[in-house]
């Protein structure tokens, strides 16, 4: 039973069709990188998976939850699917620790002591245990993004989505975030990442999917996709370098 | 006890006309005062600036009712007994001048400091900077809050009945005392105020939207 | 012409003034607390309950903001008894002040809530929080922090507006002044004392609210990004 099933998904924004029939299966523990030009629909596809965007037709099933618009089912789904955003979206009025502890406490109803331990564990996992009582404002971009990852991990998700999480970072700060993601991948987490980091996709992702004009243009093992692109669009995308 | 009929309604409408006139006069006089105060507030002279600041702070920290009473009874101390309309206008003008001064000062200070740098680099004097560069921009910035304040003024004219002037609210009170139909009477009064104020509020919001679009927010 | 001011008759009525001060403070505090609570409910109602709820709240806010407080007071004081509510002046005053302040506060708080970027809401929803939880834990406090200065100003204005309740013979500070003036015929002296009292009350409230803002929304926590639009031309 695949962790993520995407079947013939179509999505329109007004009159513009952004996803034109996308199908994809992701097995548990698989790491999938989604690459493509801006406007190819990569982020939209990712956001459909946890229900932030609604698709007009097609079927999505993730971690055993079928995606529909029922708020209660959507919440159950979101307990099992974590997402990390390009602009981290940490809550500025809460400390790092409070950011992480909030959802496990009020959405999952865990006990305060358990939540605290959980929070400090995931914070250690991303290498920021000493920042528990700091405010996000006092952290660098890379640190904030790692906190964002920890915040999603605290929900103990089965699938993690990453939406261009290093694009907003200064180049010297992306490394620390990519290391965390690599460790997650080695630990067996099912991950879908929209990324411009081609070397990360090639070395860490099992599968790479190239999207173009709302469709999956090419997909396959990362090593093959980068070494031997079959279509002209992928060839020109790769030779043009990262966007 | 009479019913609330056309004669009563016309009485209220006539009072509404007085409300409008009072508003216009108070705003006109208050604008002059407000402009002068804003200049004082921004002047190089610390004395003038401080004096203006204190005046504005006091007026903004007391009820309009008190401004009314203080100016009315203050004048009568000197033996000056103004007819009700003029007493009301003068008192409201004092109130208006303080608030407009603050709004306009804020507008002038909102003009980006780069405008000052650019105009002084072109060797303009301070007065020329104000006249050709700063004030024109400040006027545009000041339009939404000034129109918004006009709405406040219309509403605040409701209290001048304490100096014996019959404006819209007092007319409502009188008609209610005669007819004992508070819902109809005050609904009519409220509706008239609403018809005056709501378009002004909308205008203020519209101007604010236009301004933000211009500044590229 | 010599001006002769006699303050003694007014000072003799000090107890009236003190009761007036207490009533002014009580009415204002009551209106601030109840009005803010009502405003938060209305803002929450509007953002969570759909378009018709929003239109209803908007109508209420527009009507209250485009009609004078005095007329609202008259409507409540003279009108509600006809519906069977027994309404003393002070009760009518508190109700009118609460409803009026709630309308202005709703507008201000709503602007604060709207200024919270929707990515914050998305992050909260993605963590499996309900919309209500997102509103309560993620949106409300930063929104309040952003609009605290505007809200504080509105509270001070309400304190000053309490003077209008004297029109229905409530013995708050202005009402007390009216009574004292009638008794002593010392109009100017009465009103200068009362005016100074209002000045003290308003400035104290301003300071209190500022201090409260610093404590509840500390600047170090990255809560409020107040855009400094002031030019530095001097």
Residue C228 contacts B where some CB pair is shorter than 8 Å: no
| End-to-end C-alpha distance for chain A, whole angstroms | 35
Residue among A194, A140, A135 at smallest CA distance from A163: A194
Asked whether residue B1 is domain-assigned, the answer is no
Touch test A–B: 3 Cβ pairs or more under 8 Å: no
Question: What pLDDT band is residue B1 in, cutting at 50, 70 and 90?
Answer: low
pTM equals 0.85
A30: tokens are 């698989």
CA dist B57 → A89, B88, B97, B98, B153 (Å): 41, 21, 12, 8, 18
- Looking at chain B, the number of H-run helices and the number of E-run strands are 9, 0
Question: What pLDDT band is residue B27 in, cutting at 50, 70 and 90?
Answer: very high
Question: What pLDDT band is residue C5 in, cutting at 50, 70 and 90?
Answer: confident
Options 1.10.3720.10, 3.60.15.10, 3.30.750.24, 1.20.1260.10; CATH of C8-221: 1.10.3720.10
Residue C234: closest CA among chain B residues belongs to which residue?
Answer: B113
Strands A16-26, A190-194: parallel, antiparallel or unpaired by DSSP? unpaired
Alpha carbons A100 and A108: distance in angstroms, whole number:
13
Alpha carbons C37 and C155: distance in angstroms, whole number:
13
pLDDT of A177 strictly over 70: yes
pLDDT at residue B6, rounded to an integer = 87
CB C109 within 8 A of CB C43: yes
pLDDT of C78 strictly over 50: yes
| Cα dihedral: C55, C56, C62, C67 (round 10) | 160
Alpha carbons C125 and C120: distance in angstroms, whole number:
9
Residues in C lying within 8 Å of A, measured between beta carbons = 119-120, 122-131, 133, 137-138, 141-142, 145, 220-223
Question: What pLDDT band is residue C7 in, cutting at 50, 70 and 90?
Answer: confident
Residue with the larger pLDDT of the pair C49 and A143:
A143
Chain C residues within 8 A of A136 when measuring between CB atoms: 222
Domain ranges of chain A: 4-239
Asked whether residue B163 is domain-assigned, the answer is yes
Domain ranges of chain C: 8-221
Per the DSSP assignment, residues forming a β-bridge with A36 are A211
Among candidates C123, C129, C220 on the partner chain, residue whose Cβ is nearest the Cβ of A106: C129
Instruction: Over range A89-115, report the average pLDDT.
Output: 92
B197: tokens are 């104020």
Chain B residues within 8 A of C199 when measuring between CB atoms: 58, 61-62
Chain C residues within 8 A of A75 when measuring between CB atoms: 128-130
Residue A173 contacts C where some CB pair is shorter than 8 Å: no
Q: Closest Cα of chain C to B32: distance in Å?
A: 24
Mean pLDDT of chain B: 90
ipTM field = 0.91
Residue B60's domain spans which residues? 6-214
Q: Closest Cα of chain C to A202: distance in Å?
A: 28
B109–C230 C-beta distance less than 8 A: yes
* Concatenated DSSP letters of C30-57: HHHHHHHHHHHHHHHHHHHS-HHHHHHH
Q: Closest Cα of chain A to C140: distance in Å?
A: 10
Chain B residues within 8 A of C71 when measuring between CB atoms: 158, 169, 172, 186, 189-190, 193
User: For residue B68, what is the domain's CATH number?
Assistant: 1.10.3720.10
Alpha carbons C185 and A237: distance in angstroms, whole number:
90
Indicate the number of domains in chain B: 1
pLDDT of B214 strictly over 80: no
Q: Collect all residues with Cβ–Cβ distance below 8 Å to B4 and sequence separation of at least 6.
A: B175, B179, B181, B184, B185, B188
Instruction: Over range A87-93, report the average pLDDT.
Output: 91
Options 2.40.50.1020, 1.10.1200.10, 3.40.50.300, 3.30.420.40; CATH of A4-239: 3.40.50.300
Instruction: Over range B190-195, report the average pLDDT.
Output: 96
pLDDT of C106 strictly over 80: yes
What is the torsional sign of CA A41, A42, A43, A47? positive
pLDDT at residue B210, rounded to an integer = 85
Residue C62 contacts B where some CB pair is shorter than 8 Å: yes
Asked whether residue B188 is domain-assigned, the answer is yes
Chain A residues within 8 A of C138 when measuring between CB atoms: 91
Alpha carbons C231 and C234: distance in angstroms, whole number:
9
Helices (H), chain C: 8-12, 14-48, 51-65, 69-74, 89-114, 118-126, 131-133, 140-161, 173-184, 187-216
CB B42 within 8 A of CB B106: no
For residue A159, what is the DSSP state?
A: E
Angle at the Cα of B65 (from B64 to B68), degrees rounded to 5? 90
Chain C residues within 8 A of A91 when measuring between CB atoms: 120, 123-124, 138, 142
Angle at the Cα of B88 (from B85 to B90), degrees rounded to 5? 105
């Amino acid at each position: 039973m695949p962790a993520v099933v995407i079947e013939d998904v179509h999505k329109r924004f007004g009159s513009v069709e952004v996803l034109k029939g996308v199908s994809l299966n992701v097995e548990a523990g698989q790491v999938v990188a989604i690459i493509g030009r801006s406007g190819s629909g990569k982020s939209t596809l990712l956001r459909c998976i946890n229900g932030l965007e609604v698709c007009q037709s097609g079927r999505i099933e993730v971690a055993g939850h079928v995606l529909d618009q029922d708020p209660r089912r959507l919440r159950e789904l979101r307990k099992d699917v974590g997402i990390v955003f390009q602009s981290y979206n940490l809550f500025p009025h809460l400390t790092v620790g409070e950011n992480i502890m909030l959802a496990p406490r009020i959405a999952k109803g865990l006990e305060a002591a358990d939540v605290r331990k959980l929070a400090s564990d995931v914070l250690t996992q991303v290498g920021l245990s000493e920042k528990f009582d700091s405010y996000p404002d006092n952290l660098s971009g890379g640190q904030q993004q790692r906190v964002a990852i920890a915040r999603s991990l605290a929900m103990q998700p089965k699938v993690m989505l990453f939406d261009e999480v290093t694009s907003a970072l200064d180049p010297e700060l992306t490394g620390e975030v990519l290391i965390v993601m690599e460790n997650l991948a080695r630990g067996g987490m099912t991950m879908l990442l929209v990324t411009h980091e081609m070397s990360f996709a090639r070395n860490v992702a099992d599968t790479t999917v190239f999207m173009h004009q709302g469709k999956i243009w090419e997909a396959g093992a990362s090593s093959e996709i980068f070494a031997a692109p079959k279509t002209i669009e992928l060839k020109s995308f790769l030779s043009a370098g990262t966007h | 006890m009479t019913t609330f009929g056309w004669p009563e309604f016309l009485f209220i409408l006539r009072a509404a006309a007085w409300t409008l006139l009072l508003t216009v006069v108070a705003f006109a006089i208050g604008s002059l005062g407000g402009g002068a105060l804003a200049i004082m507030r921004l002047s190089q002279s610390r004395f003038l600036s401080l004096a203006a600041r204190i005046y504005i702070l006091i007026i903004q920290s007391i009820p309009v009712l008190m401004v009314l009473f203080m100016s009315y009874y203050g004048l009568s101390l000197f033996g000056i007994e103004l007819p009700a309309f003029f007493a009301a206008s003068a008192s409201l003008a004092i109130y208006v001048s303080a608030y407009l001064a603050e709004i306009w000062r804020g507008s002038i200070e909102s003009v980006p400091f780069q405008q000052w740098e650019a105009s002084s680099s072109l060797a303009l004097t301070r007065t020329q900077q104000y006249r050709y560069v700063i004030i024109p921009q400040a006027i545009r910035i000041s339009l939404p809050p000034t129109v918004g304040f006009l709405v406040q003024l219309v509403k605040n004219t409701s209290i001048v009945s304490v100096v014996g002037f019959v404006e819209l609210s007092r007319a409502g009170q009188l008609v209610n005392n005669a007819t004992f139909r508070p819902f109809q009477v005050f609904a009519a009064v409220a509706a008239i105020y609403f018809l005056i104020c709501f378009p002004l509020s909308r205008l203020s919001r519209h101007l604010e939207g236009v301004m933000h679009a211009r500044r590229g927010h | 012409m010599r001006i002769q001011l006699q303050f003694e008759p007014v000072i003799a009525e000090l107890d009236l003034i003190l009761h007036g001060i207490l009533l002014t403070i009580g009415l204002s505090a009551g209106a601030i607390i109840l009005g803010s609570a009502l405003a938060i409910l209305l803002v929450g109602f509007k953002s969570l309950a759909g378009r018709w709820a929003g239109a209803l709240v908007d109508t209420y806010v527009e009507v209250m903001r485009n009609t004078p407080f005095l007329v609202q007071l008259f409507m409540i004081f003279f009108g509600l008894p006809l519906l069977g509510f027994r309404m003393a002046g002070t009760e009518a005053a508190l109700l009118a002040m609460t409803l009026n302040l709630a309308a202005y506060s709703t507008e201000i708080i709503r602007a604060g809530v709207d200024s919270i970027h929707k990515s914050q809401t998305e992050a909260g929803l993605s963590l499996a929080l309900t919309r209500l939880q997102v509103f309560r834990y993620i949106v409300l406090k930063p929104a309040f922090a952003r609009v605290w200065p505007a809200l504080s100003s509105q509270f001070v204005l309400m304190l000053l507006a309490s003077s209008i309740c004297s029109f229905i013979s409530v013995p708050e500070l202005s009402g007390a002044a009216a009574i004292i003036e009638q008794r002593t015929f010392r109009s100017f002296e009465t009103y200068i004392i009362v005016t100074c009292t209002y000045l003290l009350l308003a400035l104290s409230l301003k300071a209190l609210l500022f201090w409260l803002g610093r404590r509840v929304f500390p600047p170090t926590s990255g809560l409020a990004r107040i855009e400094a639009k002031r030019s530095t031309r001097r």
